[in-house]
Amino acid sequence: MASSKLMEASIRKIRLVNPTRPSVFEAYIQTEHGGIVARTEDSQSFSIYYLLEGKEFYCGRRFTRKEIAQWLKGKLPHPDERRQIYDELGDIPAIAVNPQSWVWYFVSNRGEERLKTELKPTISDLQKLAGLALQINPSNFYPLGDPYEIWVCDKDTELPLFLTVTGNSLEEIDRQTFSPLWRFNFVDCTASNEVALRELQKLINSRVNASDNFRTIKWTHRIFKRNLDDSVIEYSQDELKPIAEYPPNWLPTGLMAEPFETVRKHLENNQYQ
């Protein structure tokens, strides 16, 4: 969910595309070279990313609301004040006062790329970000920060069947990789619901795969932008140019087209009972 260039400062909502689909709230600040965001689900714990040319560079750890508030004073806690200064990736660099000493990294199928020092955000950038991030209230309305969507389609009608990824920009959508098949999370669900979810998963995927060879997958997907009034613009996959427009409510508002969305919600509402 990266961005090339957005408004200088904004708060918006982004979506995590998975069966439970939580919302994440994001404070964005434009910097000299790119953008820096603070993302949170509850306004108590924040992940910080630096956005540059469609890539998201991560600094290695989350920050508490107390730490974010301390940024307004231009400082971070001393490492001795922190219980954890390392994680599964090793030492966490984001404990120094100056974010330009942090290791900001982007991981892709090509390996790990590190942000150059001259492009890194400054203490002043973090102070501005902190002031905006502390204003986030999950109960408020915020516009979508990831209005671009990729939908996997029904093999016969080529109409949108389920949402697979969202993005902040066409540039980011063009970089996205995704599975053309739907997968539910079966961890901790009841035995009866697991059977029903697996049957639904099989049914959905049977509507996707048009291949006659069971070892291969042949599918259709389409790229859309959802506008504030819920009208939709479709983009070509090769040149990423607008090719069609659709009225409000044309694109499903949930994760799936009906009747699958209603069945999914019913099963997941009873998944852990």
Structure tokens at 202: 């099989």
Q: Cα dihedral angle (43, 44, 47, 53), rounded to 10 degrees?
A: 20
Summarised one tens digit per residue, pLDDT across range 127-171 is 999 999 999 999 999 998 889 999 999 999 999 999 999 988 888
**H/E element, 198:** helix 191-206
Kindly state the greatest CA–CA separation across the chain.
63
Structure tokens at 5: 């260039």
Structure tokens at 71: 């940024």
Considering the entire predicted model, what is its pTM?
Answer: 0.72
Average pLDDT, the chain: 85
CA 20 from chain center: how many Å?
A: 13
CA–CA distance from 235 to each of 116, 150, 173 (Å)?
33, 10, 11
Residue 174 burial (CB < 10 Å; 0-12/13-18/19+)?
Answer: middle
90, pLDDT greater than 60: no
Lowest mean pLDDT among 13-17, 115-119, 184-188, 238-242: 184-188
According to the model, what pLDDT value does residue 89 have? 44
d(CA 34, CA 245): 31
According to the model, what pLDDT value does residue 21 have? 67
Residue among 38, 222, 225 nearest 146 (CA): 225
Structure tokens at 66: 């107390």
CB distance 85 to 95 below 8 Å: yes
Residue among 150, 158, 130 nearest 65 (CA): 130
Average pLDDT over residues 222-231: 94
According to the model, what pLDDT value does residue 2 have? 44
Counting every residue written for the chain, the total comes to 273
Helix 260-269 / helix 191-206 crossing angle, nearest 10 deg = 160
CA 95 from chain center: how many Å?
A: 25
